[in-house]
């Protein structure tokens, strides 16, 4: 027996959860010299909406649906949610990127709760396509949720998967594009003007596509639950890289850097002030 998916999304509770997740990530950032804080902050609400709104659990407590973090550098948000759910332990996160630990800066398939080893961009959509097709063949109702960076849509492999997922009419594949507009170098829309618009490109490839505010869990929840269906769905999520901490927002260096003590304190203060 499966748990039913929730009918509505409690946005107030989500805001509180996302504050807690960001605080926890900032705490962990003080243990190591480098960590992908900003990429995790840009997909915090997306990941929360999937885990705490959309995904169903089986009666034994295990996930019924699949979460696949294709933008592997965003995995800190997945780690802290898996910690909250008891899939990972506090010790696992204390030992993040340490020799005795088992969590690295990109997800590893051997880690509990991790659906695929990612980190190299452009792999997740193909894996998710294969997973979704397998569930079709097995005649299950399992949904595959896949979170990608907008940068991954510059990889040809992602478009090969977009083509196949639509060919195969994989209406059990739901992709979220974390559209923060920043790569490691610069604002992507400055350097790649011909890459846009994105929703229209996905539609042209045979997908159902919609653009929403990627920091509004309720909007993303509603976009998924009100989908037309019959084909794969992509939610283009407008986000801000480093969301919630002013000095990180839209500043490329924070793709990888950890805040120092003063920056950490300022970050905490800003996050709490925004609640």
Residues in contact with other proteins by the rule CB under 8 A: 109, 115-117, 120, 122-123, 125-138, 156-157, 160-161, 163-164, 168
| 45: helix, strand or coil | helix
The answer to whether 182 touches 254, Cβ cutoff 8 Å, is no
Q: At its nearest, how many Å lie between other proteins and the CB of residue 62?
A: 14
Q: At its nearest, how many Å lie between other proteins and the CB of residue 246?
A: 36
Report the alpha-carbon distance of residue 51 to residue 217 in Å, rounded.
Answer: 11
Q: At its nearest, how many Å lie between other proteins and the CB of residue 142?
A: 8
| Residue whose pair of structure tokens reads 């229209």 in the numeric block | 200
| Residue whose pair of structure tokens reads 């989908």 in the numeric block | 227
Report the alpha-carbon distance of residue 176 to residue 174 in Å, rounded.
Answer: 7
The answer to whether 108 touches 114, Cβ cutoff 8 Å, is yes
Q: At its nearest, how many Å lie between other proteins and the CB of residue 100?
A: 22
Cα Dmax for the chain: 54
Extract the tokens encoding 157: 């492999």
> Which lies closer to other proteins via its Cβ, residue 35 or residue 162?
162
């Amino acid at each position: 027996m499966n748990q039913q998916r929730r009918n509505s999304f409690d946005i107030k509770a989500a805001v509180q959860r996302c504050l807690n997740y960001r605080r926890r990530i900032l705490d962990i950032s003080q243990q190591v010299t480098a960590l992908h804080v900003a990429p995790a902050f840009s997909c915090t609400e997306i990941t929360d909406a999937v885990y705490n709104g959309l995904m169903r659990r089986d009666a034994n407590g295990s996930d019924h649906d699949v979460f696949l973090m294709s933008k592997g550098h965003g995995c800190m948000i997945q780690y802290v949610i898996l910690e909250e759910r008891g899939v990972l332990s506090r010790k696992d996160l204390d030992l993040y990127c340490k020799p005795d630990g088992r969590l690295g800066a990109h997800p590893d398939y051997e880690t509990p709760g991790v659906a695929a080893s990612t980190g190299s961009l452009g792999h997740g959509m193909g894996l998710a396509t294969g997973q979704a097709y397998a569930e079709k063949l097995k005649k299950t109702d399992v949904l595959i949720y896949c979170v990608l960076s907008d940068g991954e849509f510059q990889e040809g492999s992602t478009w090969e998967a977009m083509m196949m997922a639509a060919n195969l009419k994989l209406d059990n594949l739901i992709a979220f594009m974390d559209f923060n507009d920043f790569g490691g170098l610069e604002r992507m829309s400055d350097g790649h003007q011909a890459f846009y618009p994105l929703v229209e490109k996905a539609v042209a490839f045979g997908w159902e596509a919609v653009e929403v505010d990627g920091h509004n869990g309720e909007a993303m929840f509603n976009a998924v639950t009100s989908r037309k269906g019959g084909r794969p769905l992509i939610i283009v999520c407008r986000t801000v890289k480093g969301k919630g901490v002013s000095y990180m927002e839209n500043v490329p260096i924070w793709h990888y850097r950890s805040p120092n003590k003063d920056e950490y304190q300022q970050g905490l203060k800003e996050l709490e002030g925004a609640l």
